[in-house]
């Protein structure tokens, strides 16, 4: 029985008990005003003959790719050309679809625990092999991320063609230093591997950590980076993201920039003009200030969860450079046992760590994307229930 089914059953049995959801990574704050204004103006343009637009460039309008190049990379001293940026409807889509440009024979390495899309899409593509109970897929290289290694993966013993990394990490919330990331860039270049770097949560970084893998020397010849406006600017329902594929990146003698461009132009007709104008507004002076305010709101929620549960005796990780809190389940409970207990005692819903992989067993993910009021209520309920 999955999360939705268990919650629905609980609601039927206890209609008087309100549910607080700290599980799914969906945002609650509305879109920034600058974004809404840009969407409104763009919508008006679409209603006039002289400014109407049909199919746009499959890889994104130049105005948005230029804004991305200048703000997300140029300001950090990284030179990324607009022809290396591909606008899409989401990082989830891109991290899943990127497999289209690789061979089914390529060996894939993933962190464990891991965002399930990385694994599931490779299973669908035929790269995973056979599933072995308690071990996982026998053709996938798992890189355990445990508290003993600060939830960072170790370089794989078995050589991998494709390496998925996500930092700040989902689900553990761990960040990665430039020195640690350099090890991966050097490994990938040395083994002719490609790193698929998911940086969807880079806007939540508070410390001195790299926001992009391209801040690391040598990354352009071995890495593809994924970014999203979903958690940054509240686009979970609006849908816009982008992927960076450097022209220097060659795999198996083939330019992956050209291959991804071919894939995108073949399988999609681009993101709507209205949405891309909305994304462009994220980089305006007003937009950046409003986005920063929203992110601070979620960061404060993460602090409330982290500090509240930690003070109550729970073993808590993450929540500093990430909107996710990685909680060790108390009393030796399994992830699902804790889920059921938490639901029954408090009405709070999180995500069992085992859903992210074998090494996620015994952990539980909470998110900071609810309202501050609900976040405070949830923490209070958990503390009171488990101290009773």
Q: Are residues 18 and 160 in the same domain?
A: no
Q: What is the CATH number of the domain that holds 248?
A: 3.40.640.10
Q: What is the CATH number of the domain that holds 296?
A: 3.90.1150.10
Q: Does residue 326 lie within any of the structural domains? A: yes
Q: Does residue 37 lie within any of the structural domains? A: no
Q: Are residues 195 and 237 in the same domain?
A: yes
Q: Does residue 48 lie within any of the structural domains? A: no
Residue 20 has phi, psi (to 5 degrees) of -115, 120
Q: Are residues 267 and 302 in the same domain?
A: no
Query: What local confidence, expressed as pLDDT, does residue 1 receive?
Result: 52
Domain boundary among 284, 306, 339: 284
Q: Are residues 103 and 22 in the same domain?
A: no
Query: What local confidence, expressed as pLDDT, does residue 17 receive?
Result: 87
Q: Does residue 57 lie within any of the structural domains? A: no
Q: How far is CA 152 from the centre of its chain?
A: 16
Query: What local confidence, expressed as pLDDT, does residue 25 receive?
Result: 84
Q: Does residue 42 lie within any of the structural domains? A: no
Q: Are residues 208 and 324 in the same domain?
A: no
Domain boundary among 256, 284, 312: 284
Instruction: Detail the DSSP E strand segments found in 71-161.
Output: 85-88, 108-112, 131-132, 136-137, 140-144
Q: How far is CA 57 from the centre of its chain?
A: 25
Query: What local confidence, expressed as pLDDT, does residue 42 receive?
Result: 98
Number of domains in the chain: 2
Q: Are residues 291 and 175 in the same domain?
A: no
Give the CA count within 13 Å in the CB-facing half-sphere of 367: 22
Query: What local confidence, expressed as pLDDT, does residue 388 receive?
Result: 57
Domain containing residue 155: 62-284
Q: Are residues 313 and 275 in the same domain?
A: no
Q: Does residue 231 lie within any of the structural domains? A: yes
Residue found under tokens 């029985």:
1
DSSP 8-class letter at 32? P
Query: What local confidence, expressed as pLDDT, does residue 157 receive?
Result: 87
Q: Are residues 246 and 309 in the same domain?
A: no
Q: Are residues 330 and 372 in the same domain?
A: yes
Q: Does residue 303 lie within any of the structural domains? A: yes
Q: Are residues 163 and 214 in the same domain?
A: yes
Domain boundary among 232, 259, 284: 284
Q: What angle do CA 56, 57, 58 make, to 5 degrees?
A: 110
Q: Are residues 346 and 278 in the same domain?
A: no
Q: How many residues does the chain have?
A: 388
Q: Does residue 311 lie within any of the structural domains? A: yes
Q: Are residues 227 and 82 in the same domain?
A: yes
Mean pLDDT by 10 residues, the chain (388 residues): 86 91 92 98 98 96 98 98 98 97 97 97 97 95 96 94 98 98 98 98 96 98 98 96 98 97 96 98 98 98 98 96 97 96 96 96 98 97 86
Query: What local confidence, expressed as pLDDT, does residue 86 receive?
Result: 98
């Amino acid at each position: 029985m999955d999360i939705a089914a268990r919650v629905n059953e609980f609601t039927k049995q206890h209609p008087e008990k309100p549910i607080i959801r700290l599980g799914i990574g969906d945002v609650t704050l509305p879109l920034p005003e600058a974004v809404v204004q840009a969407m409104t103006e763009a919508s008006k343009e679409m209603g006039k003959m002289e400014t109407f637009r049909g199919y746009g460039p499959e890889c994104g309008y130049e105005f948005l790719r230029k804004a991305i190049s200048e703000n997300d990379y140029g300001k950090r001293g990284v030179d990324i050309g607009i022809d290396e940026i591909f606008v899409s409807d989401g990082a989830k889509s891109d991290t899943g679809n990127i497999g289209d440009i690789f061979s089914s024979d390529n060996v894939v390495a993933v962190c464990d625990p891991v965002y399930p899309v990385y694994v599931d899409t490779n299973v669908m593509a035929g790269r995973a092999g056979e599933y072995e109970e308690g071990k996982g897929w026998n053709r996938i290289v798992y890189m355990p991320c445990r508290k003993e290694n600060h939830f960072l993966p170790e370089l794989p013993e078995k050589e991998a063609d494709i390496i998925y990394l996500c930092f700040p990490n989902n689900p553990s919330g761990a960040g990665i230093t430039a020195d640690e990331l350099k090890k991966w860039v050097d490994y990938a270049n040395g083994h002719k591997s490609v790193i698929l770097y998911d940086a969807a949560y880079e806007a939540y970084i508070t410390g001195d950590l790299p926001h992009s893998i391209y801040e690391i020397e040598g990354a352009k010849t071995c890495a593809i980076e994924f970014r999203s406006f979903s958690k940054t600017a509240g686009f979970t329902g609006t849908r816009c993201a982008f992927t960076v594929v450097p022209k220097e990146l060659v795999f198996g003698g083939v330019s992956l920039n050209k291959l991804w461009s071919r894939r995108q132009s073949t399988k999609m007709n681009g993101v709507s003009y209205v949405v891309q104008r909305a994304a462009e507004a994220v980089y305006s002076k007003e937009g950046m200030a409003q986005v920063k305010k929203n992110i601070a709101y979620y960061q404060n929620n993460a602090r409330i969860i982290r500090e509240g549960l930690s003070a109550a005796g729970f073993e808590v990780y993450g929540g500093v450079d990430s909107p996710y809190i990685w909680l060790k389940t108390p009393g030796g409970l399994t992830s699902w046992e804790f889920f059921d207990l938490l639901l029954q005692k408090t009405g709070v819903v999180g995500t069992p760590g085992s859903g992210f992989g074998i090494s996620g067993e015994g952990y539980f993910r909470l998110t900071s994307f609810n309202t501050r009021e609900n976040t405070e209520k949830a923490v209070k309920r958990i503390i009171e229930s488990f101290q009773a």
